[in-house]
Structure 1
Amino acid sequence: MSLADLTATELTARYAAGHLSPVDVAEAVLARVDDREPDLNAFYLRDDSELVLERAAASTRRWEAGEPLSVLDGVPVTVKENIARAGVPMPAGCAGVEPVVPEADSPIARRVVEAGMLVLGSTVMPDWGMLSSGHSSLHGQTFSPLNPAWGTGGSSSGAGVAAAAGYGPLHVGTDIGGSIRLPGTWLGLSTLKPSAGRIPLHAPYLGRVAGPMARTAADCALLMSVLAGPDPADWTSLPGDDSSWELGEDNLTTAKVGVWTEPGYGMDPALEVVAAVETAADRLSDAGAHIIEIKPWLGQDLLDGIDRFWRIRSLADFERLSPAAQAKVLPYIQAWVTSARGLSAVDALDAYAAFAQVQSRTVAAWARAAPGGLDLMISPVAPEAAPAADLPMPYPEQGRGMWHINFTMPWNMTGQAAGTAPVASMSDGRPIGVQVIGRAFDDLAVLRTMRWLESA
């Protein structure tokens, strides 16, 4: 195994024992990127390799002196291109926009640097983050390292590909309806959409979070230990607490676990996807969990309303562009946003009301599923495994563009933590992940269950 394929947990243990240096790891990861990046196209901007090696040498000296800046000192990391880094333009994956150039680091960018992590660069995303694929009018197409014919998922497409390809162990994506978890399931990763406000953002927005993308739940927890905590830049960030991100022991013997495989809206899941979730439920039951079947609680009208509001929001961005700039936007996105041109202010407010309906109905369904509410829920992440790589969306025709986020979207609205654990494969080899959802603010229970499913 190459050093580029070691987990963050393995790296930090070897750094602490003096058996490995951050310079060795940086050289291996940079070589991996040089080898694979021409084909995969995960990076929007790569930091200078000599600068990365200088940072690695400084980290090596700190470990030798027994004075690392954090447990992740010297561990490689990437951040998505919409995570602000001072002086780095933010085009949001779109060839038509004039990129914003931030003057200051976002809390995320600042924290990984302060922790001594080796920032490799910023990873790509599709236009305005509104595609579940690796298609971008600015960057071209990003390809899965597992099979170039399989879609990557999105909008954290570059981050997911970097994680799956071994561009180091840790990567930061963002998620407003499934953008961390969809690449997670389609690329065989462990990922976490944390509780809303757990990781502070430089530009908070309803439903949007940032979170870790890695190959193990333990690595996700390690990255959370650096990223989580309040920051005045984000007025929605959660207050700090005294808990650590140590996962501790699994205890599923009394857990009330909902199993949700019938969405009631969007696309129905493939039989192999359902079978993977049911197998996970059987294993949890064998460990002592109380399994509860969950029936649908949301309707197509709500998903359509959220889709309609996002079209209107993106249309506002589109209409501010000149005709020449509009022509540069990805054709699928052009068609998607311009379909909202005939909608009224009343339509916009009615569409926005769908967000609150999803929140209230989802919280109510969670509470009534069991006395005292559920402890956890598991479900598919997406209705199917990775779609064809040439598709901008899994179901692009007949107004079904958002029908694949039926399992992921509700948890952005309630703010509950939701992660992905790789548990199975389709008969053709495409990975299948299970989504794990926790009680409000219980990120650790989600991570512990993800780890348990990985080992099971």
Structure 2
Amino acid sequence: MDAEALLAGYAAGTLTPVQALQAVTERIARRNPAINAFALLDPAALKAAQASTARWASGRPQGVLDGVPVTVKDLIDVAGLPTRRGSKTTEATPAAADAPLVRALRAAGAVITGKTTTTEFGWKSPGDCPLHGITRNPWNTAHTPGGSSAGAAAAAAAFFGPLHVGTDAGGSVRIPAAWSGVVGLKPSFGRVPQWPLGAFGHVAVAGPITHSVRDAALLLSAIAVFDPADPFSLPQDPTDYRAGIEDGVSGLRIGVLDHPGFAAPADADAQGAVATARAILAAQGARVEDFAVALPDTSEVFTLVWGAALARLVAGTPEGQRGQLDAGLRQVAARFADVPAAALLAAEAARVQAAHAMAALPYDAILCPCVPHAAPLAEAPAADPVAALWRDWAPWTFLFNLTRQPAVSLPLGVNAAGLPVAVQIAAPLYRDDVALRVAWAVERAL
């Protein structure tokens, strides 16, 4: 049951938040041992659900998510729970305070059921980490759900509640959503406040992973707030992102990007999904056309940003603990340990150039693949993580982190092996509403 259906049940008195939480926790107990989506469950969830049930019974719900179960990725602080970041190098000390978006969730009445698994410090796309091991794809547990928001996507796909919060620095919401057959939204940079900032704080943003576009819009409406703790936080956003989502796409101009110039083409299934979405949008009155755009070598830019961030992370880890870090993370960090400041400044200049080029495009939205192929095996480590970044993980997603645009991963069925396929829909900077509107237009036609 999605979040909107739960809220309707609460309002009608046919369902309570306690009953919803019990159903979710029973399903977690039954299915999670084979999936491993959770870093931990929140023992305070039942008390929160009971308080919400009392509010609904008195006719005074607290906010737009009152009583809805929500999970939070274990890169995000939840007061009273440890933030381990998938790493054996971190302490199990409970966080002293909620992160800004968690404060927003609580203000909206959400019931936080637990923290979901992440790759170590969110560094890669396969869904494993040294602390919690392998998180598996509910569609086929031999395969990865993707990462770094592995647990959030797996939890969504396994119906461990309707709403899940991940983070995305290069595709870490959209890639696992695509490989797990659910919706993933990377909002515009700064739309959702974050603090403390992680290793990728200058490109990362938190966002929803859900079963429907409307639920993603609902969750974004709750967490898109201003918070002064985050120096990149946008001004207070009063938008209900569900408003206008069903306005349709007639007259919108949508560009189809089938090859970004720095990655191998997506496979036939991914290209077929784009063709399907293209036909759906055209049938609804959108003006759909192919386009190309001249960009600097953004793959080189992102590789440098990613590698330098990991090198800084390893340098800040006590020397005696570095051997506990993921071997691939250490491999990348060593490769970028001596990046000069001039190279980083040049990379930032190229990032701005790419953002300028994308902003100049005449399109209301962009349609492209999200991932180059379906989910790989869960136990197939990359011999060269840098090569894997462009071959298998993020060739279609990282661009929108560099340009800071909103982008949605939308599932479009499964391939012959029964694994999900998806498309990506991006919109101009700060037009998260348009990305959701176009995604909903495709979703409703499926």
Task: Provide TM-score, normalisation by structure 2.
Answer: 0.93
* Structure 2 CA distance for aligned equivalents of residues 401 and 68 of structure 1: 47
* Structure 1 CA distance for aligned equivalents of residues 295 and 242 of structure 2: 35
Question: Does residue 419 in structure 1 map to residue 408 in structure 2?
Answer: yes
What residue number does 2:55 align with? 62
Question: Does residue 224 in structure 1 map to residue 220 in structure 2?
Answer: yes
Do the aligned partners of 1:97 and 1:325 also contact (CA within 8 Å) in 2?
no
What residue number does 1:38 align with? 33
1:195/1:344 CA distance change after superposition, 3 Å = closer
Do the aligned partners of 2:24 and 2:161 also contact (CA within 8 Å) in 1?
yes
What residue number does 2:367 align with? 378
Do the aligned partners of 1:218 and 1:247 also contact (CA within 8 Å) in 2?
no
Alpha-carbon distance, 1:332 to partner: 1.7
Do the aligned partners of 2:173 and 2:186 also contact (CA within 8 Å) in 1?
yes
1:297/1:334 CA distance change after superposition, 3 Å = same
Equivalence map 1:36-185=2 (5 Å): 36-48=31-43, 51-98=44-91, 102-185=95-178
What residue number does 2:384 align with? 397
Unaligned stretches of 5+ residues in structure 1: 1-5
Equivalence map 1:177-326=2 (5 Å): 177-204=170-197, 205-248=201-244, 249-298=246-295, 301-326=297-322
What residue number does 2:3 align with? 8
Do the aligned partners of 1:359 and 1:410 also contact (CA within 8 Å) in 2?
no
Which one is further off, 263-272 or 9-18?
263-272
Do the aligned partners of 2:78 and 2:99 also contact (CA within 8 Å) in 1?
yes
1:263/1:422 CA distance change after superposition, 3 Å = same
Do the aligned partners of 2:368 and 2:424 also contact (CA within 8 Å) in 1?
yes
1:94/1:352 CA distance change after superposition, 3 Å = farther
What residue number does 1:410 align with? 399
Do the aligned partners of 2:226 and 2:237 also contact (CA within 8 Å) in 1?
no
Q: SS in structure 1 opposite 2:112?
A: strand
Q: 1:328 aligns with which of 318, 324, 331?
A: 324
Do the aligned partners of 1:252 and 1:289 also contact (CA within 8 Å) in 2?
yes
Alpha-carbon distance, 1:418 to partner: 0.6
* Structure 1 CA distance for aligned equivalents of residues 243 and 290 of structure 2: 27
Do the aligned partners of 1:309 and 1:352 also contact (CA within 8 Å) in 2?
no
Do the aligned partners of 2:118 and 2:149 also contact (CA within 8 Å) in 1?
yes
* Structure 2 CA distance for aligned equivalents of residues 185 and 355 of structure 1: 28
1:363/1:384 CA distance change after superposition, 3 Å = farther
Q: Which amino acid aligns with 1:270?
A: D
Question: Does residue 439 in structure 1 map to residue 428 in structure 2?
Answer: yes
1:273/1:188 CA distance change after superposition, 3 Å = same
Q: Which amino acid aligns with 2:406?
A: A
* Structure 2 CA distance for aligned equivalents of residues 309 and 365 of structure 1: 19
Task: Provide TM-score, normalisation by structure 1.
Answer: 0.91
* Structure 2 CA distance for aligned equivalents of residues 398 and 31 of structure 1: 37
Q: Which amino acid aligns with 2:23?
A: A
Alpha-carbon distance, 1:228 to partner: 0.9
* Structure 1 CA distance for aligned equivalents of residues 277 and 316 of structure 2: 48
What residue number does 1:3 align with? none
Alpha-carbon distance, 1:356 to partner: 3.3
Q: SS in structure 2 opposite 1:400?
A: helix
* CA deviation profile, 1:332-385 (whole Å, cap 9, x unmatched): 2222212224x342xx531453243134234324524xxxx2101111111111
Do the aligned partners of 1:7 and 1:215 also contact (CA within 8 Å) in 2?
yes
Tell me how many residue pairs correspond in the alignment: 439
* CA deviation profile, 1:195-219 (whole Å, cap 9, x unmatched): 1111111134211100111000011
1:135/1:73 CA distance change after superposition, 3 Å = same
Unaligned stretches of 5+ residues in structure 2: none
Superposed CA RMSD: 1.9
Do the aligned partners of 1:277 and 1:379 also contact (CA within 8 Å) in 2?
yes
Q: Which amino acid aligns with 2:283?
A: D
Q: 2:360 aligns with which of 352, 356, 367?
A: 367
Q: SS in structure 2 opposite 1:109?
A: helix
* Structure 1 CA distance for aligned equivalents of residues 89 and 49 of structure 2: 37
* Structure 2 CA distance for aligned equivalents of residues 142 and 100 of structure 1: 23
* CA deviation profile, 1:409-454 (whole Å, cap 9, x unmatched): 1111222111111113212111111111112211111112111111
* CA deviation profile, 1:126-166 (whole Å, cap 9, x unmatched): 11211101110111111111111222111111111111111
* Structure 2 CA distance for aligned equivalents of residues 116 and 99 of structure 1: 27
1:62/1:437 CA distance change after superposition, 3 Å = same
Alpha-carbon distance, 1:247 to partner: 3.3
Q: Which amino acid aligns with 1:329?
A: L
Which one is further off, 110-119 or 157-166?
110-119
* Structure 2 CA distance for aligned equivalents of residues 54 and 166 of structure 1: 22
Alpha-carbon distance, 1:100 to partner: 7.0
